[in-house]
C-alpha cells in the first residue's frame, strides 16, 4: 500500500512554499499525525517557540500518517511528519524528499516506553517468547511496528517466522484484542494507558528493546523546498530542536497542556508515558532501521541513510540572538 501511494505522488509538482503570514512571519504547511505528534507542534506554537524563529505553522493533522508523504510531494505541504521507515523508504525509492529534523524517540527504559505489545489476561502469553506464532495487530503492515517488534524479539532469541501481523487502526486495536480477533496488539500512547486501565498487560516494548532511545519519527521536506526556502527549512529545524529541549526540561507543562491540545482526560494525560524528544537526528538509529528494512525484505538494496539527511541553513534559537 505504501509503495502505491508513494509512486502515485510522483507525477505532481513539489511544494512551492514562500507564503507569508499576516504579521510577516513565514508560513510553513505541516502535515502531522493527530495525537501526540501534532500536540508537539501545537505546544511549540502555543509557547511561541516557532514564532521566535519567524515561523507560523499551518498544521494539518488529517494529512499525517500514510497521506503525509504523497501530500508533501504533491505540493500540498511544505513539511511532513513521518515515521522513519516511511521516510527512508520514500527517499530510497527515488522520491525527492529529505529528512530535516527528528520527531519522537523511544525512551531509554525497557520497562517504560510509550509503545508496547499488550495482551489480555487470559491470552496464555506471559512473556516475549510466547509471541512466537502469535497474531499481532499493527497499525500499518511492513512499517515501524513490525520492524521494531521483529528486531526486539530476535534480540531475545525468539523465532519470529510464524508471527502473523494484522493491520488494524490504533482506535480499533483494543476492541479487536478483547474480542479475540488477534492474540496481541502493538499500541502507542494514549492507547497503551487505556489498555492497561482495561486490564491488558505489556509483554514487550519493541521500540526501546530494539534500541534504547530509538528514533521513531522524523520531519521531511522536498529537495525543491530546500533549494528555494533553505532559510525557512533551517528555521523549522531549529524551532523543532527548541521545542524538544523545552519539553525535555518542562515535561509536566507539556502534560498539563495535553487535555486541551488533544482532548485527553486529565488523569490519562497525567499517567501516560511521554515520548522522548531530542534536538538532532540520530543517524545510528536510522541505519539500524534501514538495515532491518533490508533484512525484512522491504528493499533488496542497502539504503544510503546519510544521503537522505539534509542539513538546512540554521537560524538563531532562543538565547542565541
pLDDT value for 35:
84
pLDDT value for 19:
58
* Residue range 208-239, pLDDT digits in tens: 999 999 999 999 999 999 999 999 999 999 99
Q: What is the mean pLDDT of residues 95-120?
A: 96
13: confidence class by pLDDT, cuts 50, 70, 90? very low
Whether 268 has a pLDDT exceeding 80, the answer reads yes
The residue with greater pLDDT, 17 or 57, is 57
What percent of the chain lies above the pLDDT cut of 70? 88
pLDDT value for 315:
52
Is the Cβ–Cβ distance between 235 and 141 less than 8 Å? no
Whether 110 has a pLDDT exceeding 80, the answer reads yes
Alpha helices (H) along the chain: 2-8, 36-46, 49-52, 68-73, 84-92, 144-155, 170-178, 191-197, 206-210, 223-228, 230-249, 251-262, 266-271, 283-295
pLDDT value for 67:
79
Long-range contacts of 157-165 (CB under 8 A, 24+ apart): 157/129, 158/128, 158/129, 158/131, 158/132, 159/132, 160/132, 162/132, 162/133, 163/131, 163/132, 163/133, 163/134, 163/135, 163/136, 164/134, 164/135, 164/136, 165/135, 165/136, 165/137, 165/138, 165/141
DSSP symbol at 185: E
Whether 4 has a pLDDT exceeding 70, the answer reads no
Whole-angstrom distance, CA of residue 139 vs CA of residue 35: 14
pLDDT value for 8:
39
Whether 260 has a pLDDT exceeding 90, the answer reads yes
pLDDT value for 61:
86
pLDDT value for 9:
42
pLDDT value for 163:
98
pLDDT value for 312:
74
Q: What is the mean pLDDT of residues 243-258?
A: 97
pLDDT value for 132:
98
* Residue range 18-68, pLDDT digits in tens: 555 555 569 999 999 888 899 999 999 999 999 999 999 999 987 666 679
Whole-angstrom distance, CA of residue 279 vs CA of residue 264: 26
Q: What is the mean pLDDT of residues 100-111?
A: 96
pLDDT value for 62:
76
Whether 14 has a pLDDT exceeding 90, the answer reads no
Supply the mean pLDDT for the chain: 90
286: confidence class by pLDDT, cuts 50, 70, 90? very high
Q: Which of helix, strand or coil describes residue 248?
A: helix
* Residue range 67-94, pLDDT digits in tens: 799 999 999 999 999 999 999 999 999 9
pLDDT value for 6:
43
Whether 113 has a pLDDT exceeding 50, the answer reads yes
Neighbouring residues of 9: CB distance < 8 A, sequence distance ≥ 6: 69, 70, 71, 73, 74, 95
Amino acid at each position: 500500500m505504501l509503495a502505491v501511494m508513494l509512486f502515485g505522488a510522483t507525477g505532481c509538482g513539489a511544494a512551492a512554499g514562500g507564503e507569508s503570514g499576516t504579521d510577516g512571519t513565514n508560513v510553513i504547511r505541516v502535515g502531522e499525525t493527530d495525537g501526540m505528534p501534532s500536540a508537539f507542534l501545537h505546544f511549540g506554537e502555543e509557547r511561541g517557540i516557532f514564532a521566535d524563529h519567524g515561523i507560523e505553522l499551518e498544521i494539518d493533522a488529517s494529512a499525517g500518517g500514510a497521506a503525509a508523504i504523497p501530500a508533501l510531494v504533491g505540493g500540498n505541504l511544505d513539511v511532513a511528519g513521518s515515521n522513519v521507515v516511511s521516510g527512508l523508504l520514500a527517499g530510497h525509492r527515488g522520491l525527492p524528499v529529505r529528512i530535516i529534523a527528528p520527531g519522537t524517540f523511544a525512551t531509554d527504559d525497557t520497562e517504560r516506553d510509550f509503545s508496547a505489545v499488550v495482551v489480555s489476561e487470559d491470552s496464555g502469553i506471559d512473556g516475549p517468547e510466547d509471541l512466537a506464532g502469535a497474531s499481532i495487530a499493527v497499525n500499518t503492515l511492513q512499517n515501524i511496528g513490525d520492524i521494531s517488534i521483529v528486531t526486539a524479539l530476535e534480540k531475545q532469541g525468539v523465532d519470529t517466522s510464524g508471527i502473523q501481523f494484522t493491520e488494524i487502526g490504533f482506535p480499533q486495536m483494543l476492541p479487536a484484542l478483547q474480542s479475540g480477533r488477534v492474540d496481541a496488539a502493538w499500541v502507542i500512547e494514549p492507547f497503551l494507558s487505556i489498555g492497561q486501565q482495561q486490564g491488558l498487560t505489556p509483554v514487550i516494548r519493541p521500540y526501546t528493546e530494539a534500541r534504547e532511545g530509538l528514533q521513531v519519527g522524523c520531519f521531511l521536506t522536498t529537495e525543491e523546498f530546500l533549494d528555494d526556502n533553505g532559510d525557512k527549512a533551517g528555521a523549522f529545524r531549529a524551532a523543532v530542536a527548541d521545542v524538544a529541549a523545552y519539553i525535555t526540561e518542562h515535561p509536566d507543562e507539556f502534560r498539563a497542556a495535553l487535555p486541551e491540545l488533544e482532548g485527553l482526560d486529565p488523569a490519562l494525560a497525567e499517567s501516560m508515558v511521554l515520548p522522548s524528544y531530542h534536538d538532532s537526528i540520530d543517524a545510528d538509529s536510522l541505519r539500524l532501521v534501514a538495515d532491518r528494512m533490508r533484512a525484512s525484505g522491504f528493499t533488496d538494496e542497502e539504503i544510503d541513510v546519510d544521503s537522505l539527511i539534509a542539513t538546512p541553513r540554521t537560524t538563531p534559537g532562543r538565547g542565541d540572538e
